[in-house]
Amino acid sequence: MNILDKIVADKRMEITGRRRQVPLEQLCEQARTAAAGPDFVAALRAAPLGLIAEIKYRSPSAGVLREPFEPAAIARAYAAAGAQALSVLIDETYFGGGEAPFRAVRTAVTLPLLYKEFVVDEWQIWHARSLGASAVLLIAAVLEDAELQGLLSLSRAAGVAALLEVHDETDMRRAAASGARLIGINNRDLKTFATSLAATFRLQALAPAGCTLVSESGIRTPDDIRRLRAAGIHAVLVGESLLRQPDLQQAVRNLMGAPGNGL
């Protein structure tokens, strides 16, 4: 069992417990009365290359990323530097995230927020909507076709975008067949944890026409940004390379270029 399989197995058990604490019917009611988040895809498409800046305390592969960890302050710095959207980790066990950090970020900024979680159950879609998320992450590698279709349909019904993450050619073909219009290409090899932008360029060719493409993981330098923008990628999701820098605003500007990431 690799780390992703372990995380997902633990997540399924976690959500079973959370459904007992907050029944689905109650959560749906909370979601219906919550304010909708801003349009996630429109925000990304409004820039030459959209930036989804990530907020997370730690990861299994990299350890602690930022200390002290102040989600609201991080969010405000990202917003001030011109990020189009923010990704906020929900998983607590492996990433140090949670509902409280997400709420702190939602209060601090008006940007669209991605509910960055290992979504395996409809409960999580409604949880995201109740927190004011604009989008949820779905990972093709951990979902069967029926689960994937069901969660995509439910996301549309709940009024949140679904960022469908793919890792290889099989994932991308499944994403295309699912009708997904927002696809994230993760540059991290699930077996070795090594990252390479070659994954984005390789899988881009298999993406359905007209979809919004996001490159994720291993994006560290202005040259990476130049290459991705030149290839026609619409947005990037960046966390570790920003979070390790003392000045977050300057880190974003150094990476993306200013103004308008016109590198």
- Structure tokens given for 204: 């881009």
Question: Per the residue annotation, which of 56, 87, 122, 240 is the catalytic one?
Answer: 56
Other CB atoms within 10 A of residue 151 CB: 22
With 0-12 / 13-18 / 19 or more C-beta atoms within 10 angstroms meaning exposed / middle / buried, residue 57 is buried
Question: Per the residue annotation, which of 59, 116, 130, 215 is the catalytic one?
Answer: 116
Question: Per the residue annotation, which of 59, 178, 186, 215 is the catalytic one?
Answer: 186
- Asked whether the bond before 60 is cis by omega within 30 degrees of 0, the reply is no
Give yes or no for a contact between 124 and 114, defined as CB atoms under 8 angstroms apart. no
- Is 191 catalytic? The answer is no
Question: Per the residue annotation, which of 59, 165, 215, 240 is the catalytic one?
Answer: 165
Contacts of 79 (CB under 8 A, 6+ apart): 86, 108, 109, 110, 111
Q: In one letter, which amino acid is 1?
A: M
Question: Per the residue annotation, which of 155, 216, 240, 261 is the catalytic one?
Answer: 216
- Is 217 catalytic? The answer is yes
- Is 155 catalytic? The answer is no
Residue among 5, 10, 28, 216 at smallest CA distance from 124: 28
Q: Which residues pair with 137 in a beta bridge?
A: 163
Q: Is residue 56 helix, strand or coil?
A: coil
- Is 165 catalytic? The answer is yes
- Is 186 catalytic? The answer is yes
Catalytic sites, residue numbers: 54, 56, 116, 165, 186, 216-217
